[in-house]
């Protein structure tokens, strides 16, 4: 049999591509050497958010007396939290396996090697076979990176894979990097009342984000008693002692490297096809196609934007290009980016600095969550929504707020679908909800705030 599409890697890029292709009537082979779900399900988004959910519940439970609820002897058992994470990953993994089967996708648990531009050799523990295909999608993802002068020993110095394997929590952790992973684990450890020290080499926290968010994050970390150092790196590790470039000497129980990811480009046989590279990633065109006309590369392995939802969207679009001949044209300015801090940080589109740098005209509106009834009810008054827009469209949204990861989506829809701020003013927002802050921040673009005094400009 000749497959219409063979896909290497069943992460959120590969398995979603397989489902979309099967729904469009293609005969699909999905080859995965590990577990369906990839990094996202087994070592990334889902297990980390499961642990985060427990950490948050514990943090919230400690606040319950404020809500008139008395709880005595509050404690947690990390081994149960660990087991819950394992069970959830297994459950979702089983669900995906059923979904793959129900879509009549041939799932092959094996390592895929490339023999030619139309043939894969798939090697499992028990067998080796060749499969023929018309089109190939490479969705092999990425693995944790490391820092140049630091050797992982997986006991004292850990990466994001290792930290998920801990069955008990250390009392203190030094986290290198204040990006999405670093901030998320800072929130987790802090929630469990562990000492956290964040070390960031850039001058500001979460350096990729809008400056106002970095500043707010700085304040939030201070409030939560999370120590951090910017413009600092780990200079030396001597036994269990860490020496920072600012001269600080620390003795954390573990070091977690939240550094970048390395793409899995070392597929056996691929070099013979001479794929063009973009640094360490496979180079792809606007249709996610490599320089080999029937081979596509999606998700973390092309390095465009290393997020699960981007991998999935690229998977759908690559398949639509193969089967329907539709141009892909993804606008990466519409990708929501979340940092699961406390409160959650979310952004889409241009930062204010980027607009200034490009000389793009914009208006700005900032609405504080503290001015909202819902935030006061929930005792979650920290943060704000900042919208940058021209007279017709939204250019950027940067927010830090309780439930920010959900809140951003309505503005991302407006931005992505080209709904103007004027049109959004006609929408009725339910009360009392956090979404009212979206409405207010839209009104603020034309100085029409309802729940802020006239003329007041929020400084963040």
Ligand X SMILES: Cc1cc2nc3c(=O)[nH]c(=O)nc-3n(C[C@H](O)[C@H](O)[C@H](O)COP(=O)(O)OP(=O)(O)OC[C@H]3O[C@@H](n4cnc5c(N)ncnc54)[C@H](O)[C@@H]3O)c2cc1C
Structure token pair of residue 402: 């309780």
In the list 22, 217, 311, 335, the residue contacting ligand X (rule: CB under 6 A) is: 311
Choose which of 19, 89, 133, 141 interacts with ligand X (CB under 6 A).
141
The one catalytic residue among 313, 321, 398, 431: 431
Single out the residue of 181, 355, 397, 442 in contact with ligand X (rule: CB under 6 A). Answer: 181
Rg (CA), the chain: 24
Pick from 8, 173, 295, 394: which binds ligand X (CB under 6 A)?
A: 8
Q: Which of 216, 295, 297, 308 binds ligand X (CB under 6 A)?
A: 308
Return d(Cα 280, Cα 118) in angstroms, integer: 24
Task: Specify the stretch interacting with ligand X by CB under 6 A; choose among 5-13, 167-175, 316-324, 343-351.
Answer: 5-13
**Does 112 engage in binding with ligand X (CB under 6 A)?**
yes
Minimum Å distance from CB 302 to ligand X?
8
Distances in Å between the Cα of 29 and the Cα atoms of 6, 355, 441 are 5, 44, 47
> Among residues 18, 21, 28, 39, which is the contact residue for ligand X, using CB under 6 A?
39
- Specify the residue, 267 or 385, whose C-beta has the smaller distance to ligand X: 267
Give dist(CA 110, CA 129) in Å, integer.
10
Select from 126-134, 275-283, 303-311, 389-397 the region that touches ligand X (CB under 6 A).
303-311
Distance in angstroms (rounded) separating the CA atoms of residues 198 and 204? 12
Q: What kind and span of H or E run contains 223?
A: helix 211-223
User: Which is closer to ligand X, CB of 211 or CB of 260?
Assistant: 260
Binding of ligand X by 32 (CB under 6 A): yes
- Give the shortest CB-97-to-ligand X separation in angstroms: 13
* Shortest Cβ 23–ligand X spacing (Å): 18
Angstrom distances, CA of residue 329 to CA of 16, 366, 440: 18, 31, 32
Residue for token pair 């329907």? 324
Instruction: Kindly tell me which of 143 and 363 has the beta carbon lying closer to ligand X.
Output: 143
Longest dimension (CA), the chain: 73
Instruction: Pick from 55, 135, 142, 375 the residue near ligand X by CB under 6 A.
Output: 142
Can you tell me whether residue 109 is helix, strand or coil?
Answer: strand
428 CB neighbour count, 10 Å cutoff: 6
Among 5, 21, 48, 213, binds ligand X (CB under 6 A): 48
Under rule CB under 6 A, residue 111 binds ligand X: yes
Q: Quick count: other Cβ atoms within 10 Å of Cβ 34?
A: 15
Binding mask 282-301 for ligand X (x = CB under 6 A): -----------------xxx
How far apart are alpha carbons 36 and 106 in whole angstroms? 13
418-457 binders of ligand X (CB under 6 A): none
Q: Which neighbouring-strand residues pair with 143?
A: 262
Structure tokens that stand for 102 in this block: 């129900």
Q: Which is nearer to ligand X, 55 or 142 (CB)?
A: 142
Provide the angle, in degrees to the nearest 10, between the axes of the packed helices 14-23 and 78-102.
30
Decide if residue 178 touches ligand X (CB under 6 A).
no
Q: Which of 55, 135, 160, 351 binds ligand X (CB under 6 A)?
A: 160
Binding mask 258-277 for ligand X (x = CB under 6 A): ------x--x----------
**Rounded Cα distance, 430 and 436, in Å:** 7
Does 13 sit near ligand X (CB under 6 A)? Answer: yes
Residue 12 contacts ligand X per CB under 6 A: yes
Give the contacts of 391 (CB within 8 A, at least 6 positions apart): 363
**CB-CB contact of 334 with 348 (8 Å):** yes
Residue from 282, 271, 226, 218 nearest 252 by CA: 226
**Applying CB under 6 A, which part among 27-35, 381-389, 408-416, 422-430 lies near ligand X?**
27-35
Q: Is 313 a catalytic residue?
A: no
Q: What residues contact 129, with CB distance under 8 A and at least 6 apart?
A: 121, 122
Under rule CB under 6 A, residue 45 binds ligand X: yes
Number of residues that bind ligand X (CB under 6 A): 36
Q: How many other CB atoms are there within 10 angstroms of residue 63's CB atom?
A: 11
Binding of ligand X by 176 (CB under 6 A): no
Q: Which stretch binds ligand X (CB under 6 A): 29-37, 72-80, 198-206, 407-415?
A: 29-37
- Binding residues for ligand X (CB under 6 A): 8-14, 31-34, 38-40, 43-45, 48, 111-112, 139-142, 160, 181, 264, 267, 299-301, 306-309, 311
Active site residues: 431
């Amino acid at each position: 049999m000749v497959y219409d599409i063979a896909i290497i890697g069943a992460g959120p890029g590969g398995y979603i591509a397989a489902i979309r292709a099967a729904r469009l009537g293609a005969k699909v082979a999905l080859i995965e050497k590990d577990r369906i779900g990839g990094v996202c399900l087994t070592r990334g988004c889902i297990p980390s958010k499961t642990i985060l959910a427990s950490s948050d519940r514990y943090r919230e439970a400690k606040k319950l007396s404020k809500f008139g609820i008395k709880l005595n002897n509050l404690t947690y058992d990390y081994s149960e939290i660990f087991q819950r994470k394992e069970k959830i990953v297994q459950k979702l993994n089983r669900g995906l396996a059923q979904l793959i089967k129900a879509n009549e996708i041939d799932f092959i648990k094996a390592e895929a090697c490339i023999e030619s531009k139309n043939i894969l050799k798939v090697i499992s523990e028990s067998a080796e076979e060749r499969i023929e295909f018309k089109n190939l999608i490479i969705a092999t993802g990425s693995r944790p990176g490391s820092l140049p002068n630091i050797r992982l020993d997986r006991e004292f110095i850990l990466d994001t894979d290792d930290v998920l394997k801990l069955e008990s929590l250390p009392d203190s952790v030094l986290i290198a990097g204040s990006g999405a992973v670093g901030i998320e684990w800072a929130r987790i450890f802090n929630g469990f009342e562990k000492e956290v020290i964040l070390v960031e080499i850039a001058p500001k926290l979460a350096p990729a984000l809008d400056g106002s968010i970095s500043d707010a994050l700085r304040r939030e970390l201070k409030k939560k008693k999370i120590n951090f150092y910017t413009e600092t790196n780990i200079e030396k590790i001597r036994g269990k002692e860490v020496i920072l470039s600012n001269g600080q000497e620390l003795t954390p129980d573990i070091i977690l490297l939240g550094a970048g990811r390395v793409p899995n480009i070392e597929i056996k046989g691929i070099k013979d096809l001479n794929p063009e590279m973009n640094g360490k990633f496979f180079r792809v065109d606007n249709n996610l196609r490599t320089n080999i006309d029937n081979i596509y590369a999606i998700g973390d392995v092309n390095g465009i934007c290393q997020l699960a939802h981007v991998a999935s969207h690229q998977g759908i679009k690559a398949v639509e290009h193969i089967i329907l001949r539709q141009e892909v044209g993804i606008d990466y300015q519409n990708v929501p980016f979340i940092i699961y801090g406390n409160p959650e940080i979310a952004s889409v589109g241009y930062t204010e600095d980027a607009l200034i740098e490009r000389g793009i005209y914009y208006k700005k509106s900032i609405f504080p969550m503290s001015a909202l009834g819902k935030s006061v009810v929930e005792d979650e008054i920290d943060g704000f929504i900042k919208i940058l827009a021209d007279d017709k469209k939204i250019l950027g949204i940067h927010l830090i707020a309780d439930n920010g990861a959900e809140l951003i989506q309505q503005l991302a829809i407006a931005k992505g679908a080209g709904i103007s701020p004027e049109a959004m003013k006609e929408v009725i927002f339910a009360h009392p909800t956090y979404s009212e802050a979206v409405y207010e921040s839209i009104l603020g673009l034309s100085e029409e705030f309802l729940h802020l005094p006239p003329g007041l400009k929020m400084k963040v």
